[in-house]
């Protein structure tokens, strides 16, 4: 504890780019991630925010939590808006209309805004090679509109549009592998992160800001409201997602995979699922089917990393 | 000094955008807008225009990228038509609601289905209420002049609104016309540097696009409405300044041979030139007719319209779009409502024609006027007449 008091302030800047007083639910993992990620971004940044929980909870006229320049326009166009901001600043600096300096552009969006409705705009912006960081806050559903499924919702989870019932086990499809889609765009930096591992997450944000070109980070963001779990489990559930292999932490630098931490022996999936109402209806058979898939996916990524793990 | 050049109008538009020294061009190709964006790409590739050219993957992203660059304070241009304009639809409202001075050329084209690449005003009418300033043009000269004016209007401190410069697809976009070209220095002097008041920049953080609960939404919309209406003052001032500098005067409503006319024909866009010839012929026949062209579509020029139709007994309005299942011609229904409380009130006859690139000849306009005059007397019992349709 003494050590933490000494080191923590050095590791995490005190200044808040994202101020308290917003309307997020108690225990919101997404807002925790936003707060820490913006600390890692520093002051020389313009944030472009998609419609979704993070926009709605923090920007009700006449208030805002944002202490850095921030723009929200629509749900599905965040990457395109970010590419406009980046290009505008670049052109004006080149033409001497504003001082030459390093200004980063960070687009932030939910999983729905990223994997579903905004995928085309994101693909375009990544392909064109704009220098910007895109963060997807992945809480595995459309939370802002009342917990509807997205293509990031895990198999078997109940949402309001993938309810379990006599003819349904909940979400019918497997989670879309968005980081792989980002990697397929040959961008210099892709990573997964989780605020339960704050230093890892912030390091990745800093790293992403410094690459020349697009970078993509998918941040696992526990949503107690949508997942029907206790608000004080947020950090623990994030850890369990990593420890069970549900959400592996890794980086892909210039196409090269690297595990961010080693999980020598994955914990049983049920350690993770049993704490959440969204999985409560699942039978042991379905759970083991899901677990098999989780392990398979985990090993796939580990194989890509070739056993390489960060120090 | 200005010089006279013969050039395709689309190429000329791109040349004006270059003279306006835009910072960002974000575009997606669609017929009949393509020549504008291709030529801009060339100008950037050849180093003649120092701008970021963003070849986006859709029109939705084109307008979205424009939001970003304009909010950062960059002078921003795009162009589109038809399906592209419709794909932009929701983004257009954001551009005006957030007071972003984007300039866009629209090469007006019909909408699918059935697919038609040819000109009419269906695309415009669908974006009528998006809060943009909208200017119509009759010929290449009008288009390039108003492209220049559009930047000065949009970026003016009292306006800060996006502007659409309309030109009819093919009828204007693809014709080679003689035009007076300004000097680049003249254009640069005419359009002061963009000085967006609160751009996105870390030196002074602003929050743009916050959400509005019911206690403030009405006020926000009302402020936007007042601002758009008031922009007419600046539009008029810019047109006057343009006339002083370049010698050509534009007005919200323009009249042709309307002195003493009892019957007025209304048009918008490139058809106006053909209509003028028809009016000349009808005048020669001794008919007491004139032509009124609507140049400023938004903000709608109510006062100028009422002034322009004073003394007329019959108005015949030709629309190049169809408000399906509704009043027929959208322009006509606006004119009707603008004049409903006037006393005396002219009889108004609505024609819809020229859809999907269908030409209306001089003889066609003569027929429209004559039929319109007859219908005004005996009444048709219909909301509108469709011109030239094979039943
Ligand atoms: C074009 C459009 N379609 C639908 C919506 C409604 N909508 C707003 S936010 C949202 C879901 C957001 O989900 P996600 O991106 O995952 O963010 P979260 O709220 O979960 O953080 C939806 C469906 C919208 N604003 N715009
Ligand atoms: S619904 Fe979920 S993501 Fe949205 S604010 Fe609440 S906890 Fe956070
Ligand atoms: Mg979500």
> Given a cut of 80, is residue A246 above it in pLDDT?
yes
Q: Is A121 on the interface with B (CB under 8 A)?
A: yes
The residue of chain B with its CA nearest to that of A69 is: B205
**How far, CA to CA in Å, does B51 sit from each of A28, A77, A117, B54?**
42, 22, 29, 9
Cβ contact A48–B76 (<8 Å): no
Domain A13-305 fold: Rossmann fold (3.40.50)
Tell me if A43 and B202 make a contact (CB, 8 A cut-off): yes
pLDDT at A306: 83
Domains of chain B: 3-246 (3.40.50.970), 254-386 (3.40.50.920)
Ligand 2 pocket test, candidate residues A23, A28, A228, most atoms within 8 A of CB: A28
The residues spanned by each domain of chain A are: 13-305
B71 CA: distance to closest CA in chain A (Å): 7
A61, B51: Cβ pair inside 8 Å?
no
Provide the token pair at B11: 């190429």
Q: Which two tokens stand for residue B136?
A: 């119509």
As a whole number, mean pLDDT of residues A163-186 equals 98
Which of B96, B130, B196, B210 to probe by mutation at the A interface, max A CB count within 10 Å?
A: B210
Of chain B, the percentage scoring pLDDT greater than 70 comes to 100
Q: What is the pLDDT of residue A3?
A: 72
- pLDDT for B328: 85
For ligand 2, atom 2, name the residue with the nearest CA.
Answer: A223
pLDDT tens digits for B31-85? 999 999 999 999 999 999 999 999 999 999 999 999 999 999 999 999 999 999 9
pLDDT tens per residue, range A195-219: 999 999 999 999 999 999 999 999 9
pLDDT (0 to 100) of residue A2 = 64
> What percent of chain B lies above the pLDDT cut of 90?
98
Is the pLDDT score of A10 beyond 70? no
Q: Whose CA is nearest to atom 22 of ligand 1?
A: A145
Residues 36-75 of chain A whose Cβ lies under 8 A from any Cβ of chain B: 43-46, 48-49, 55-56, 59-62, 64, 66-74
Q: A50 to chain B nearest CA, in Å?
A: 10
Chain A, window 225-284: residues with a beta carbon less than 8 angstroms from a chain B beta carbon: none
**B106 three-class SS:** strand
Confidence tier at B391 by pLDDT (50, 70, 90): confident
Residue B365 has pLDDT above 70, yes or no: yes
pLDDT tens sequence across A104-161: 999 999 999 999 999 999 999 999 999 999 999 999 999 999 999 999 999 999 999 9
The closest alpha carbon to B126, from B289, B311, B330, belongs to: B330
> A18 to each of A34, A35, A56, A306, B199, how far by Cα in Å?
7, 6, 14, 38, 20
Contact A46/B202, CB-based, under 8 Å? Answer: yes
Q: Which of A55, A75, A147 has most ligand 1 atoms within 8 Å of CB, for mutation?
A: A75
| Mean pLDDT of all residues belonging to chain A | 96
The arithmetic mean of pLDDT across residues A30-59, rounded, is: 97
Q: Is the pLDDT of residue A311 over 50?
A: no
Query: Strand B296-298 vs strand B289-294: parallel, antiparallel, or unpaired?
Result: unpaired
Cβ separation B76–A84 shorter than 8 A = yes
Would you say residue B19 has pLDDT above 90?
A: yes
The predicted pLDDT at position B258 comes to 97
Largest interatomic CA distance in chain B: 69
Question: What mean pLDDT comes out for the span A39-54?
Answer: 97
Q: How confident is the model at residue A9, as a pLDDT?
A: 63
Nearest to B74 among A45, A64, A91 (CB): A91
Mean pLDDT of the region B15-28: 98
Residue A106's H or E segment, with its range, is strand A104-110
């Amino acid at each position: 504890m003494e050590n933490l008091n000494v080191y923590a302030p050095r590791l995490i800047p005190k200044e808040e780019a994202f101020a308290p007083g917003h309307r997020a639910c108690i225990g919101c993992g997404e807002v925790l991630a936003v707060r820490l990620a913006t600390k890692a971004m520093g002051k020389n940044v313009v944030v472009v925010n998609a419609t979704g929980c993070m926009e709605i909870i923090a920007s009700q006229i006449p208030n805002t939590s944002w202490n850095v320049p921030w723009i929200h326009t629509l749900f599905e166009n965040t990457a395109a808006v970010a590419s406009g901001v980046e290009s505008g600043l670049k052109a004006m600096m080149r033409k001497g209309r504003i001082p030459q300096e390093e200004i980063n552009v960070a687009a932030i969006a939910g999983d729905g805004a990223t994997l579903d409705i905004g995928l085309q705009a994101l693909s375009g912006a990544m392909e064109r090679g704009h220098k910007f960081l895109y963060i997807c806050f992945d809480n595995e559903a459309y939370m802002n509109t009342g917990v509807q499924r997205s293509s990031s919702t895990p198999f078997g989870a109940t949402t309001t549009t993938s309810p379990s019932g006599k003819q349904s086990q909940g979400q019918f499809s497997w989670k879309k592998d968005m980081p792989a889609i980002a990697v397929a765009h040959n961008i210099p930096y892709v990573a997964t992160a989780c605020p339960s591992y704050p230093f890892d997450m912030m390091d990745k944000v800093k790293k992403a800001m410094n690459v020349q070109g697009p970078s993509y980070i998918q941040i696992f963001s526990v949503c107690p409201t949508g997942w029907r779990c206790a608000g004080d489990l947020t950090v623990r559930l994030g850890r369990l997602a990593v420890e069970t292999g549900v959400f592996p932490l890794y980086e892909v630098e210039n196409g090269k995979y690297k595990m961010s931490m080693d999980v020598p022996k994955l914990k049983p999936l049920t350690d993770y699922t049993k704490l959440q109402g969204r999985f409560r209806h699942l039978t042991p058979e379905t759970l083991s089917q899901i677990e098999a898939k989780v392990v398979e996916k985990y090993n796939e990524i580990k194989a890509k990393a070739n056993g390489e793990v960060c120090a | 000094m200005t010089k006279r050049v013969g050039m395709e109008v689309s190429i000329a538009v791109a040349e004006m955008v270059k003279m306006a020294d835009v910072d960002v061009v974000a575009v997606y190709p669609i017929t009949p807008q393509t020549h504008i964006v291709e030529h801009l790409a060339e100008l950037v590739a050849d180093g003649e225009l120092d701008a970021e050219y963003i070849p986006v993957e859709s029109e939705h992203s084109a307008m979205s990228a424009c939001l970003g660059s304009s909010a950062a304070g960059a002078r921003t241009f795009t162009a589109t038509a038809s399906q592209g304009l419709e794909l932009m639809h929701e983004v257009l409202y954001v551009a005006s609601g957030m007071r972003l001075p984007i300039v866009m050329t629209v090469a007006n084209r019909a909408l699918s289905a059935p697919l038609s690449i040819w000109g009419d005003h269906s695309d415009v009418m669908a974006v009528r209420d998006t809060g943009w300033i909208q200017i119509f043009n009759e010929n290449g000269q009008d288009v390039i002049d108003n492209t220049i004016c559009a930047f000065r209007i949009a970026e003016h401190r009292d306006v800060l609104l996006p502007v659409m410069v309309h030109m009819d697809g093919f009828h204007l976009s693809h014709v080679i016309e003689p035009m007076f070209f300004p000097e680049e220095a003249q254009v640069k002097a005419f359009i002061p540097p963009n000085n967006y008041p609160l751009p996105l920049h870390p030196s002074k953080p602003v929050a743009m696009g916050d959400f509005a609960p019911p206690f403030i939404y009405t006020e926000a919309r009302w402020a936007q409405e007042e601002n758009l209406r008031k922009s007419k003052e600046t539009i008029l001032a810019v047109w006057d300044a343009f006339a002083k500098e370049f010698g050509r005067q534009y007005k919200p409503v323009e009249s042709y041979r309307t002195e003493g006319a009892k019957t007025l024909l209304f048009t918008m866009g490139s058809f106006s030139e053909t209509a003028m010839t028809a009016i000349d012929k009808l005048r020669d026949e001794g008919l007491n007719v004139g032509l009124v062209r609507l140049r400023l579509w938004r903000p709608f020029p109510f006062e100028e319209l009422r002034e322009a139709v004073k003394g007329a007994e019959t108005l015949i309005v030709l629309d190049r779009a169809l408000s399906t299942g509704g009043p027929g011609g959208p322009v006509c229904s606006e004119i009707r409502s603008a004049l409903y409380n006037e006393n005396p009130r002219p009889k108004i006859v609505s024609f819809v024609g020229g859809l999907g690139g269908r030409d209306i000849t001089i003889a066609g306009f003569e027929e429209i006027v004559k039929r319109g005059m007859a219908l005004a007397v005996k009444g048709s019992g219909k909301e509108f007449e469709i011109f030239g349709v094979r039943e």
